[in-house]
Structure 1
Amino acid sequence: MRGVTDVATICRLLNERARELAPDLLPNGVRDGIHWKTSSMEDVPTGRYSFVVDLQGPKVGRWHDFGGARPGEDDGDMLDLVRIRRCGGDMIAAIEWAKSYLGISDRDRGSFERARQEVERRTSQREAEHQAERQRKRDHAKGLWLGGVELPGTPAEAYLHGRSIDLRALGRAPGALRFRAEVPNKESGARLPCMVAAIMGLDGTHMGTHRTWITQRVDGSWGKALLSDPKLTLGPSLGGFIPLWRGDGAGKLATIAPDTDIYVSEGIEDGLSVAMGLPDKRIIAAVSLSKIGALELPEQAGSIVIIGQNDPYGSPAVDTLEAEIGKLQARGFRVRIIYPPRDPQRPNGAPAFKDFNQWLCEDPDGFFGRSAGRAVA
């Protein structure tokens, strides 16, 4: 080849052909939605799938090995996969293999131009398909939420009450939360009662819907459904948030008064627990810990106050939170963290409570009689 541009084009064209190339390079894998999955780079049948290749979407052709791969073999693109699987790690040989596979000849410069045009055509087509699928998911997610009913008097309200979140005491129910009696659940293969939450963009767009499947216990109370993952998101969510509580303010998050602090929880229950103790605060849920740094937030916000959890020092959750806080700070936001209290009577001042909801459930008198947790600058 004659330069970086040529190799980059080969990479792009191989990535666009991931749907046909991945099964050829990893024949012991299986198709799972938009992914091709296998055990590892060695592609040994084990029944476990920690090696994942994206077959479509914005990351088409990218792969990642979640199973502790050797350095340099934990992620890459389709050219890297060809290099490792077909060419013994030799990149020059991989490029020559790719040129032959793609029908590119050094003697026919037109073959490279045709390949370049094919890249552009496939990329344009894929992007159009991706946008259409993204909009379809948004519409489906919004329809799921719109089909729900307001919380008062529903099992979803009873579920929150069972977590010591009393919407009647707060005086109103969050408009972003609704209840549906039957929502399909893939794991159970059934339609189960579900609390559905709107995931909103700062511009007011309904991006996706968060689902919390619930079940009635033998004593008549309601709790999370007995599933390996009773909480899942439908539709896009990166940058979005669940608006939980407006506090003393009015209007949408985008139009809050200058210097208004925004309290950010990872999940719904922790955010509403803080609302029980600090009902004057503006509170949103970030849907996922790993998405806090990407939240769409108004520039006029005061501090971004993270509603923290007492995870063990050095744990992945702590490392993730630190990284996400760094992203917010890099965007110019002031960030603080509040935590549930530690217990001075326990060894090394160990946490008395894992999170704010546990604190509210187990020590309501202490929760309401004190400021919400210990602050960390």
Structure 2
Amino acid sequence: MTGHGRADAGDLARRLAEQVEAVCRHYLSAGRRYGNYWLVGDVRNTAGRSMYVRLHCPSEGRRAAGRWADAASGEYGDLLDVIRESCGLLDFRDVADEARAFLSLPHPEPRPVSRADHPAIDRSPSGYTEAARRLWVMTRPLPGTLAAAYLRHRDLKRLPDSTALRFHPTCYYRPDDDGPTETWPTLIAAVTDLDGTLTGVHRTWLAADGSGKAPVDVPRRALGDLLGHAVRFGVASDVLAAGEGIETVLSLRQVLPDLPLTACLSAGHLAAMVFPPLLRRLYVVRDDDPAGDHALETLAGRARDAGIDLIALSPRLADFNDDLRHLGPAALRAILHPQLAPQDVARFLETAPP
């Protein structure tokens, strides 16, 4: 991205998000609206339903509009990426011109290019992975930190005996609107491959007292190589439970402490998860939304082909953390009991301490 490109990108993406459904109808005409999502086959406007675009997301605010992910391929991005891929454009200048034409905006006057337009940052996938590893080195163990306090506020009191979660007291947060960089205490999760090699990190910026998330627009972000990798709690062998969110899978940990768990961080990455070689039964901790439905559908097909028994686990409320917090551990055990395979009830549920 050169010249005025970087500054333009944020402004154009915001303007496009304000007209997100019109953008989808124009550039993703092979899809259609389902509730708060636009569903289509992929970002190149193929018929189907594996890609979903957020039209409106009250829980995440206005900035979530226009964000999209493809449950089949693991791709994700914003509406500028939709324009680039659906129109087959390569250069950002062409993407910006197309976006301005759609928005009926004038072309900006060129300005001199300065060194600030080209900061010396490696933005390749390997560069992002290396940045994630540098951040991980600067973290500290979880016990006794604000991150541990945050998890306790979510009723996640039985923390995993692993190095998957750590704490950074002053992690940088850069707003999407190019506002000033801030620092917040942060829960850091390790994203690893099946061999345990760190490929990325997931950050949850926290309030100064650890009572909740930080008051920022996007309090959760991932960094690094994510596709096929996950945040892992326990070593998977023949049985594994996989879900999207860290807090969701840790809620199961409270009543099933010996069940290996993975958090894939999004529906798209859940659908694209890499199966451990000895896996024979996969529990999918599902989210009740279109993205979660399509991730489950994709995984079911992949599991069938791999000879893996797939069982969906459904919460009673919005998600399993809500079940844990509002109904309690005993109710969560009762909710899970009929959904588990009988042999896993004896193996994981009945042997777990209360």
Shorter chain as normaliser: what TM range? 0.5 to 0.7
Structure 1 runs (4+) deviating above 6 angstroms are 33-37
Offset of residue 135 of structure 1: 2.1
Offset of residue 322 of structure 1: 2.4
CA RMSD of aligned residues (A): 3.6
One-letter code aligned to 2:141: E
**8 A contact 2:129–2:225 mirrored in 1:** yes
Residue 68 of structure 1 corresponds to: 25
**8 A contact 1:278–1:372 mirrored in 2:** no
- For residues 111-190 of structure 1, the aligned pairs below 5 Å read 133-167=124-158, 172-187=160-175, 189-190=181-182
* Deviation by residue 1:10-56 (Cα, 9 ceiling, x = unmatched): xxxxxxxxx68xx9xxxxxx6238969857xxxxxxx61359xxxxx
SS in 1 for 2:253: helix
Alpha-carbon distance in structure 2 between the residues aligned to 1:206 and 1:375 = 32
Shift in alpha-carbon separation, 1:132–1:301, aligned structure 2, 3 A? same
Residue 261 of structure 1 corresponds to: 239
Residue 322 of structure 1 corresponds to: 297
Offset of residue 66 of structure 1: 4.8
**Aligned: 1:202 with 2:194:** yes
Shift in alpha-carbon separation, 1:365–1:208, aligned structure 2, 3 A? closer
Offset of residue 375 of structure 1: 2.8
Alpha-carbon distance in structure 2 between the residues aligned to 1:33 and 1:373 = 52
Offset of residue 277 of structure 1: 1.0
Offset of residue 179 of structure 1: 0.2
* Deviation by residue 1:273-305 (Cα, 9 ceiling, x = unmatched): 101011121111111111112212212102111
The structure whose Rg is larger is: 1
Alpha-carbon distance in structure 1 between the residues aligned to 2:191 and 2:319 = 22
Shift in alpha-carbon separation, 1:321–1:32, aligned structure 2, 3 A? farther
Residues 206-215 or 188-197, more deviating? 188-197
Shift in alpha-carbon separation, 1:325–1:214, aligned structure 2, 3 A? farther
One-letter code aligned to 2:323: W
Alpha-carbon distance in structure 1 between the residues aligned to 2:5 and 2:307 = 42
TM-score, with normalisation over the residues of structure 2? 0.62
Of residues 295, 315, 319, the one that matches 1:355 is 319
**Aligned: 1:234 with 2:223:** yes
Residue 122 of structure 1 corresponds to: none
Residue 65 of structure 2 corresponds to: none
Offset of residue 374 of structure 1: 5.6
TM-score, with normalisation over the residues of structure 1? 0.59
Residue 334 of structure 1 corresponds to: 309
Which 5+ residue runs of structure 2 have no aligned equivalent? 31-44, 46-82, 99-120, 342-354
Shift in alpha-carbon separation, 1:66–1:145, aligned structure 2, 3 A? farther
Offset of residue 327 of structure 1: 3.9
SS in 2 for 1:49: helix
Offset of residue 224 of structure 1: 1.0
One-letter code aligned to 1:339: S
Residue 32 of structure 1 corresponds to: 6
One-letter code aligned to 1:191: T
Which 5+ residue runs of structure 1 have no aligned equivalent? 1-18, 24-29, 40-46, 52-64, 86-129, 247-251, 342-352
Alpha-carbon distance in structure 1 between the residues aligned to 2:253 and 2:87 = 44
Shift in alpha-carbon separation, 1:211–1:376, aligned structure 2, 3 A? same
- Give the % identical residues: 25
Shift in alpha-carbon separation, 1:203–1:150, aligned structure 2, 3 A? same
Shift in alpha-carbon separation, 1:270–1:160, aligned structure 2, 3 A? same
Alpha-carbon distance in structure 2 between the residues aligned to 1:36 and 1:370 = 47
One-letter code aligned to 2:294: D
| Alignment coverage as a number of residue pairs | 256
Alpha-carbon distance in structure 1 between the residues aligned to 2:305 and 2:5 = 39
Residue 305 of structure 1 corresponds to: 283
Higher relative CO (Cα under 8 Å, sequence separation at least 6) belongs to 2
Alpha-carbon distance in structure 2 between the residues aligned to 1:287 and 1:339 = 18
**8 A contact 1:156–1:194 mirrored in 2:** yes
Alpha-carbon distance in structure 2 between the residues aligned to 1:211 and 1:329 = 33
Offset of residue 192 of structure 1: 0.7
**8 A contact 1:238–1:294 mirrored in 2:** yes
Residue 266 of structure 2 corresponds to: 288
**8 A contact 2:192–2:229 mirrored in 1:** yes
Alpha-carbon distance in structure 2 between the residues aligned to 1:316 and 1:201 = 23
One-letter code aligned to 2:169: A
Residues 190-199 or 360-369, more deviating? 360-369
Shift in alpha-carbon separation, 1:204–1:376, aligned structure 2, 3 A? closer
One-letter code aligned to 1:216: A
Alpha-carbon distance in structure 1 between the residues aligned to 2:166 and 2:258 = 22
SS in 2 for 1:215: coil
Offset of residue 232 of structure 1: 0.3
Shift in alpha-carbon separation, 1:225–1:333, aligned structure 2, 3 A? same
SS in 2 for 1:174: coil
**8 A contact 1:142–1:198 mirrored in 2:** no
